[in-house]
Structure 1
């Protein structure tokens, strides 16, 4: 058992920085991947997709952790050269805008209220985005910056941890790359 004032073991020193660093990098990668996939789909649908107006819209609002949220938006549309298609929007903005829980038509003036302009993939009409969402996600610069910032902060913490581990190894008389080794016997009390 370690006595008060005794140095902490090597595992309790700068290595604790690695956990938040990895969490930041992981969150950054997830944010960046989500933003990139939204932008790629938006770009594809805006460039080559077909615009239409939904025939019917239903929003499912569910309660989650005390804050209701939009779970999915179901739309009916008539695709060119096809019958009426019933599908869900591929990706949505989670803003219930005061709507109560349950399946319902979107309240007038809300994001997914009628007339809802859509853009869908010609080869697969079930891949649909709200036109407004596609335009906003394509223009979004904040989410990619946030992801890059989280990755940068996490990597900076990894470099800081490596630097502190190297300094600690040098203080114990070890080579800089031996930060994982036990201190030399001459340094023990």
Structure 2
């Protein structure tokens, strides 16, 4: 009986810990990306914005944000990298965002000069760069998962010692 619950607790703890590490890495990469756009990006304004709202098991989500803007005299159309935000009441499908929502035009953008010219919304870059150094959710997942792994390991050691002392005594 003890072996079964220790396996379950250990596996659950390890999975939670690994998911927390992945979330921590992702949040740090987003923070660094936002800071990089703020440091090197060229400010432009999107004249046209089209969002794509999808739906899945977890509900509606913002799938893509396409922007049209002019930089260095050239009109460009790109998809935002690492867009944030919920659907903010926007309907499913591909359309202009509702007025007053996060990505409504005119939208302030940051374009990084280079081959691919990636583009990010200024509001997203600021939010990423201002995020805490460690995501509290990721830290909690790592802590709780690590505790589960340690508890399972301690139970295994305790059970083995008990068996050894029980068979010799």
Equivalent of residue 81 in structure 2, options 90, 100, 104? 90
Aligned length in residues: 169
Equivalent of residue 132 in structure 1, options 120, 123, 137? 123
Identify unmatched segments of 5+ residues in structure 2. Answer: none
Contact conserved, 1:69 with 1:96, CA < 8 A, in 2?
A: yes
SS in 2 for 1:44: helix
Residue pairs, 1:37-116, within 5 angstroms? 37-65=29-57, 67-80=59-72, 83-116=74-107
Look at both structures and tell me which one has the larger radius of gyration over its CA atoms: 1
- Whichever structure has more helix as a proportion of its residues is 2
Q: Equivalents in 2 of 1:143, 1:129: separation in Å?
A: 22
Identify unmatched segments of 5+ residues in structure 1. Answer: 1-7, 175-182
Q: Equivalents in 2 of 1:142, 1:36: separation in Å?
A: 7
Give the drift of 1:136: 0.9
1:103-144 per-residue CA deviation (whole Å, 9 max, x = no partner) reads: 111111000001100112111453111100110111112862
Give the drift of 1:62: 1.5
Q: Equivalents in 1 of 2:68, 2:134: separation in Å?
A: 30
Give the drift of 1:68: 2.2
Normalised TM-score (structure 1):
0.81
Name 1:153's counterpart in structure 2: 144
SS in 2 for 1:92: coil
Normalised TM-score (structure 2):
0.89
Name 1:180's counterpart in structure 2: none
User: Which runs of 4 or more aligned residues in structure 1 lie more than 4 Å from their structure 2 counterparts after TM superposition?
Assistant: none
Name 2:154's counterpart in structure 1: 163
- Greater length-normalized contact order (CA 8 Å, ≥ 6 residues apart): 2
